[in-house]
């Protein structure tokens, strides 16, 4: 658990996951085949089959840790008192997650292949709905729902854009994503503590 990865089996698995995220990002999920990924890594098809039998298994393995992070964020935000504070906790947590996983997050929300996959995982779909509800509850009705969708999809896509002005300073991008989200939802920045 933790520590440097030394088993070759683990090494290959991780390389497969990284190559898959990269390929999903570039060619979309539907445009990616196990064959392409094994070619990219110079692996045989049986080497990849040892880890993943289908593209869906690979997608699931990629989504698993993100969904675990998201589940923690959603649960933490739901435990906060007050609808506005709950939304702010969800927003700031999601912006941090998006920046940390900025190759994957734009795929996750923009790619119809992922949406398709999520329909087969009601537990994960429910999690995304809870995330949306936390953002939407600031303003009851259609206005809140539309703003929540704009913020969630907007952050997910905007984190994948290259901002020459920010260079490698992703903390600045994260701050700006939070600022944009707060504005959209009508949240004030909390006072410094």
Among 5, 54, 68, 112, binds its own copies (CB under 8 A): 112
Q: In whole angstroms, give the CA distance from residue 56 to residue 129.
A: 22
Asked if 145 touches its own copies (CB under 8 A), the answer is yes
Spatial separation of the C-alpha atoms in residues 101 and 160, rounded to whole Å: 9
Residue 4 DSSP class: -
Instruction: Report, in Å, the least distance between residue 179 CB and its own copies.
Output: 7
Q: Binding residue for its own copies (CB under 8 A) from 41, 71, 99, 166? A: 166
CB of 84 to its own copies, least distance (A): 15
How far is Cα 6 from Cα 103, in angstroms, rounded to an integer?
A: 25
Q: Does 179 bind its own copies (CB under 8 A)?
A: yes
Closer CB to its own copies, 74 or 155, in the complex: 155
The least CB distance from residue 132 to its own copies, in Å, is 9
Cβ closest to its own copies, residue 14 vs residue 129: 129
Q: CB of 35: closest distance to its own copies in angstroms? A: 14
- State the angle between helix axes of 122-136 and 142-158 in degrees (0 to 180), rounded to the nearest 10: 110
| Terminal alpha carbon distance of the chain | 36
Q: How far is the CB of 51 from its own copies (least distance, A)?
A: 23
Residues in contact with 111: Cβ distance below 8 Å, sequence separation at least 6, in sequence order: 24, 28, 29, 30
In whole angstroms, what is the distance from residue 183 CA to residue 154 CA? 13
Binding residues for its own copies (CB under 8 A): 24-32, 107, 109-113, 116, 141-143, 145-147, 149-158, 161, 163, 165-166, 172-173, 176-177, 179-181, 183-184, 186
């Amino acid at each position: 658990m933790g520590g440097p990865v030394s088993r070759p089996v683990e090494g290959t698995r991780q390389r497969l996951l990284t190559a898959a995220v990269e390929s999903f990002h570039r060619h979309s999920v539907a445009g990616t085949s196990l064959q392409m990924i094994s070619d990219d890594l110079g692996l045989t098809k049986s080497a990849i089959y040892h880890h993943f039998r289908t593209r869906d298994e690979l997608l699931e393995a990629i989504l698993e840790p993100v969904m675990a992070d998201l589940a923690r964020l959603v649960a933490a935000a739901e435990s906060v008192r007050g609808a506005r504070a709950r939304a702010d906790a969800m927003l700031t947590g999601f912006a941090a997650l998006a920046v940390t996983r900025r190759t994957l997050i734009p795929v996750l929300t923009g790619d119809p292949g992922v949406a398709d996959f999520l329909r087969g995982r009601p537990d994960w779909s429910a999690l995304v709905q809870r995330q949306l509800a936390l953002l939407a509850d600031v303003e009851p009705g259609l206005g809140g729902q539309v703003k929540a969708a704009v913020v969630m999809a907007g952050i997910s896509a905007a984190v994948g854009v290259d901002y020459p002005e920010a260079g490698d300073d992703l903390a600045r991008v994260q701050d700006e994503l939070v600022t944009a989200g707060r504005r959209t939802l009508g949240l004030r920045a909390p006072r410094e503590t």
